[in-house]
Amino acid sequence: MAPLRTRFGLMSLSLGQLCGSVVQPSGLHRLYTAKYKYTITPEGAQQALFRREYVRRYPSPDDRWCRHHLQGDVPLPRPLYDGATPLTLDGLHVPTGFTTVEEVLRFCLTDLGVEPLSADWDDVLTESYERFKTDFAPRGL
């Protein structure tokens, strides 16, 4: 976990990714993402405020939620629950697209106000994302 000094106070960032590989005819391995979990948790919180997750394969045949999704400990307004049981974003699997580490870092810098380590952070993230998209993502993003 990495500590983040945000404009909203201290938070932590956790980036987790599980990769697999497929042996190519050349004998080289091509990596793929089997699952990832990126979380942002306020200091002292029991649950992540935001959690972006992806699973390549559903854990069981009964699972049919969005494999790319956003969840979090964010209360939802009253029209979205029955009045007796408050609903949080954690109870839903809000669909998203594939989320790269670069986009998570961009969110931390731009929306959470984390101080960048270098003045050219935007160029660094853009170059890294473009390289991933062209050199490592076989179908692109």
> Comparing C-alpha atoms, which of 46, 54, 35 is closest to residue 93?
54
Give the model's pLDDT for residue 81: 63
Number of compact structural domains in the chain: 1
In terms of DSSP bridges, do strands 50-55 and 29-42 run parallel, antiparallel, or are they unpaired? Answer: antiparallel
CA pair distance 127, 47, nearest whole angstrom: 33
Paired residues of 16 in beta bridges: 37
69 to 15, 93, 98, 141: CA distances (angstroms): 15, 5, 9, 16
Asked, for residue 35, whether it belongs to a domain, the answer is yes
pTM: 0.83
Give the model's pLDDT for residue 117: 93
Residue 36 has pLDDT above 90, yes or no: yes
pLDDT digits (tens, 9 = 90+) for 69-93: 999 998 887 666 666 677 888 888 8
Averaged over 94-112, what is the pLDDT? 94
pLDDT digits (tens, 9 = 90+) for 56-72: 998 888 988 999 999 99
Amino acid at 50: F
Residue 122 tokens read as 């935007």
Asked, for residue 125, whether it belongs to a domain, the answer is no
The boundaries of the domain holding residue 15 are: 2-101
Asked, for residue 111, whether it belongs to a domain, the answer is no
Confidence of residue 138 (pLDDT cuts 50, 70, 90): low
Asked, for residue 47, whether it belongs to a domain, the answer is yes
Residue 78 tokens read as 């009253």
